[in-house]
Chains A and B, each alone.
Chain A
Amino acid sequence: MGRSAIIVGSGAGGSVAAWALATAGYRVLILEKGRNLLPGLGTTGPIGSLFGNDEVKAGRFFENQDIVLEPRTARSQSEAEQGVARSFVGDVNTLPTVVGGGTVHWDAKTPRFWRQDFKGLSLYGPVPDANVADWPLTYDELAPFYDEVEQRLGVQGDVAQMPAATLAQAPRSQPFPMPPNPPMYGGTLLAEGARRLGFTAYPFPMAVNSTAYDGRPRCNSCGFCSGYGCPINARGGAAVSFLHHALLAGARLEPRAFVYRVNASRSRVTGVSFIDESGRQRRVDADVVILGASAIETARLLLLSGLGNGSGQLGRNLMFHFFTIAGGVFNEDVHSWRGPSTTFTIDDFVGPVQGAAAAAAGLPYLKGGICEVGGTLLLLGEAQTFAAIPNSWGKQHKDLMRSGLIRRHVAGLSMVGEDMPQLANRVDLDPDVRDVYGFPVPRITHSAHRFEIAASTYFGPQLAAVCQAAPGALAAFVLPVATLTEATGPGGPFAGIASTAHIMGTARMGDDPDTSVVDAFGRAHELDNLYVADGSVFVSSGGFNPTLTIMALSLRMARHLTGA
């Protein structure tokens, strides 16, 4: 008999580990809290989809964790200092709860982290009031795993169009498996605006099929992309690219299995306890336990289990990303919804930028992030936006819907701003609120660091300038959404903590057991056979969509386990 592994969560980290272990002879059991909405997954038949071009369903907790059953609570750092238990109960940073996790409806953008992201402390020094550290590994150690994940996932891109600075920071040894999708029109206008200002927009690497790949069809640009499950599985992801093959290799998947405790005996874990689909409490043992439940749920599970927190760092250093949005308004119908959300990116705002703006904020440097170029809202999203001010319904609302002002005439930019890790930004167990299973829900304490606000203030006008410089732009705006959220607090009109869907940092990796939770391979310092395979392990958040890096780290961990 080979070795056995239990994997908690079937998202980006869990599914990659499942595939790597199952194909290496491990007996793998994946416990997933959500349902399977991809009929045929793991069978020799075709993989289907119960998703559709349906904005209503997407808003009805089809694949997302139902906040009635499993709410999360939130408060700001200052509320925590004042002893406020929580100021918000509801949806904090949407946790997809479904087979395949967030990659079932992800935007599928797959930038790599840069060399500098792994060595922030040694390259640029400490940041006041932040917990900056180096990762215990380098870009070069991770690069082969980036390569392999890109191949299996099916990533499109064009190395020839990538800026030299990007390739210097994230060198590539191979081309992308597929060429880029057709460029979205609004994005091409903003890309030209960027070029006029001396910036470089280039085709965004993404796990979207521009040609048939791995038995899945070419993307046909229906437009219901980020936030929507793909009806034709033209988008790669944890489920279709990894879990499917893991199941074919003999891994077992148990959906609707809520793991509430990791069981341990001295320095080893023995397995997990969970509640199954029928509500029965069960226990299962294995040689290895791997947690890939998300940076919020993994931290919560370890806290519920009373494990892995010898450093006091568990749950801390929670990072989200700090989005800044800008947009250009065009008289033309630029239909920035038609395509895979966005097809261009700009890396010129990643930073670091040293100088007056940073010094004015009392900071050694500023960093922004990658910039998604040329997106907008779909119809219902636009209708909801135009209804967002009290009493804005009626004929005026209908007139705006006729104009299609946002849908057809705005092309947006969205900068994925890097978050600083802070000890006080954390996940812990809410002292009062329980979920449907009877367990304390995760409580999120979060406030932005002045680093993020200063960076958004610094880069925001540059984003707006790109929009204004685009051919045919009538007007441009910048919208520091995260700053607005910050200013109004968790219970304020910007409802809740920034909903970025990027969650990182609650079980950071490091070499020193006194200052980190897991080692460079994701293994818990205090437990010989417990591993973490999700965004929890991130030491810094980078200015990049995190999923490809989660997958590469998980693959590296799994290969370490199998000795391959």
Chain B
Amino acid sequence: MDDPLICARAIHFAATIAAVGAIFFSIFIAGPAFSKVDAGARSPTVLRAQFAWLAWIGLAVAALSGAVWFILVAQSMSDTSFADVFSEGALWTVLLQTGFGRAWLARLILACLLAAVLTVSFQRRGKTPLANIFAVVLAGGFVGTLAFAGHAVGASGFEGVLHPAADFAHLVAAAGWVGMLVPLTLWLAAAARDEALAGAAYTVAKRFSNVSLVTVGVLLITGSINALYLAGSLFAITETDYGRLLLIKVALFLLMVAVAAVNRQVWTPRLVQDGNVASNREALSRLRRNAAIEVGFGALIIVIVAVLGMTPPSLHQQAITEMQHHSH
């Protein structure tokens, strides 16, 4: 049954995106904003610790769910029982002799390196630029290489290069948007309680919104490339499970974009209305609520992605249908 694999995939996607999002947020958004907060304030220390925990827990859960995912795939590949997959050397064969195994090996190495760099980066409060650069590159690599565990691989020629590259960028952008929403919500919640943070809330909301513009653009372009290769035709989108799931995913994505647009256009500008404390508080509260709603939509999208990876892509399914008709 595919259900345990779908669960492992969903948890792994969510944990990876959460961990990478926390790292991206700490470096790109929180770092610059903290410099505008009074040095004596206690909240930045608390928030830094929260982001670090988010990254560490995300990485730990990603490691665990990644191991379960790997074992389930190895079991399926080698047609053995759960017990035999450990005893008959199937794990090694999958790890060393298949593309999926080599991708997992590379991701394990990336995760270990990332953990080492994070230890330095978090200890020095993000003030070591070199460690930050390494953390961003390794975190991006860790989430992006998930592309090599899915439908993006398998083709030859130009598609064999463009499709995995587009999927890699898609995953990094997803972590840069959906993954950063959780630490953003934490920040906004803390800012509602602490005046020192509230002063930097506009910087945070604006920076996040600007980064989102870029990531949403990347998601649209790379998502279209993926859809072109996997869904292909109108028939394939409307008449297959894969296509219908993809439509739901796109609908959820558009809802997220709509909520994000309201945050950008309506509530973020209200944060700079000096002197109007009530208006600021309302804006903070609305921003936080909307960010939490976006997190909910993002989680649903991740579940769909976990199922999509297990569903035959529309074009494959369409071709099979045509073959069956042909042979009758």
Partners in one complex: no
Residues of B in contact with A (beta carbons under 8 Å apart): none
